[in-house]
Amino acid sequence: MKMPLFVLWYLVGCTTHPTQNDTTTPDVFRKDTLLFEEQEVLIHSIRHPEHTGETHKESDLKKPVLSASTCSLTVPEPYKQDRRAKKGTLIVVYKSLFRLGLYQNGSIQKIDGKNACFPIAMGHKPWGPKFKRDFESTPEGWYNIADKRDIGHSMFYRSLQVSYPNREDIKRALDHQVISQTVYHRLLKQINSGSSATQGTAMGGWIMIHGLGSESPFWTAGCIATANEVMDLLFPFVHVNDPILIIPWELNVKANGILIPLDPTPEDPFA
């Protein structure tokens, strides 16, 4: 019996339900004020209660509310020297900032005179790479837009499919015995041929950048969600095969001269 598409997507992809409806029109360029340090202290107290004497749950973790200026004006080091960052369109996802930036020829795109830098939501454990079906983690590394789905063809308003898994993902999955040698070589052959790897293996799949809102920080099962209005702004600029860079949570990114403080000992994603 064939499994309905929406059930398959729920099982292997990033389908969960947002905890807040995206019914109001957000100001996607809004300037917020919560300091980086508040987020860092809370993350640290969740993972290391013995250091603070306080007990927190993962549900206490709030999305850092940052200004639109937190995206780097140019593609940050060490990625800016990559040929994919120098020419053409590039989407950069800053996991630790909960931000997505749109770049053209290495510099932030201007839309209506403002930097194209937008709030996002991710999976329930955004730190660390994704290499297995876990309903929580968001991939890290270089990918491409594998598919572009408009209204009526996407379950999440508009969506851009991320070409997960990549070579590093499948090697990590093999090393951790998530997939067999047979599956590894089949996926590697597909990737080397320029095709997207098969979705729905033990590694999960169907990772999207999509609409339906970013007000709740951790409502997806691995996808990158943003406001519908942001997807409307992005769609005219991006095309299938355009590169996507998802900067690892653990990386200390220096954006516009501001060193983003991160927990130096993130939870082990392989545990």
pLDDT average, residue stretch 213-234: 89
- Find, among 224, 249, 253, the residue nearest to 91 by Cα: 224
Q: How far is CA 64 from CA 46, 106, 139, 244, in A?
A: 15, 26, 20, 22
pLDDT tops 50 at residue 76:
yes
Residues 6+ apart with CB under 8 A from 126: 95, 96, 137, 138, 218, 249
pLDDT tops 60 at residue 257:
no
Rounded (5°) CA angle 30-244-79: 90
What is the per-residue pLDDT for 37?
Answer: 35
Q: How many CA atoms lie within 13 A of 244 on its CB side?
A: 27
Q: Is 116 helix (H, G, I), strand (E, B) or coil?
A: coil
- Contact criterion met (CB below 8 Å) for 79 and 96: no
**Tokens found for residue 117:** 């830098």
Ramachandran region, residue 115 (left: φ > 0; alpha: ψ -120 to 50; beta: rest) = beta
Q: Which pLDDT tens digit goes with each residue over 162-210?
A: 999 999 999 999 999 999 999 999 999 999 999 999 998 999 999 999 9
Q: Which pLDDT tens digit goes with each residue over 121-141?
A: 998 888 889 999 976 889 999
Higher pLDDT, 135 or 235: 235
Higher pLDDT, 90 or 262: 90
- Is the overall model pTM greater than 0.85, yes or no? no
Whole-number average pLDDT of the chain: 75
**Tokens found for residue 164:** 């997960």
Residue by residue, DSSP assigns 69-110 as: GGS-SBPPTTGGGSHHHHSSEEEEEEGGGTEEEEEETTEEPE
Q: Is 172 helix (H, G, I), strand (E, B) or coil?
A: helix
Q: Which pLDDT tens digit goes with each residue over 14-61?
A: 644 433 333 333 333 333 323 233 333 334 444 444 444 444 444 444
Peptide bond just before 165 cis, omega within 30 deg: yes
